[in-house]
Amino acid sequence: MALFDFVREYGQKVFNHDGEAAEKIKKLIESRNLGITGLGVKFAGGVVSLSGQAPSAEALEKAVLLAGNIQGVTEVKIEGLQAPPAKDKFEYYVIKSGDTLSAIAKQFYGKANDYPRIFEANREVIRDANLIYPGQKIRIPLG
Q: What is the dihedral of CA 106, 7, 14, 120, to 10 degrees?
A: 20
* CATH code 3.10.350.10 region(s) in the chain: 89-142
CATH 3.30.1340.30 fits 3-82, yes or no: yes
CATH number for the domain running over 89-142? 3.10.350.10
pLDDT at 4: 79
pTM of the shown model: 0.85
Query: Mean pLDDT, the chain, as a whole number?
Result: 93
Evaluate the CA torsion angle 21, 22, 23, 25 in order and state its sign: positive
Which among 128, 51, 2 is positioned nearest to 136, based on CA atoms? 128
* CATH code 3.30.1340.30 region(s) in the chain: 3-82
Dist CA 116 CA 5 (whole Å): 25
Residue 30, pLDDT > 70, answer yes
CB 118 within 8 A of CB 101: yes
Q: Identify the band that residue 82 occupies on the pLDDT scale cut at 50, 70 and 90.
A: very high
Express each pLDDT in 83-133 by its tens digit: 998 888 999 999 999 999 999 999 999 999 999 999 999 998 898 999 999
Q: Identify the band that residue 3 occupies on the pLDDT scale cut at 50, 70 and 90.
A: low
Q: What is the mean pLDDT of residues 33-51?
A: 96
Share of the chain above pLDDT 90, in %: 80
pLDDT at 84: 93
Q: What is the strand order of the sheet 47-53 is part of?
A: 3-5, 75-82, 47-53, 37-44
Residue 39, pLDDT > 70, answer yes
pLDDT at 2: 66
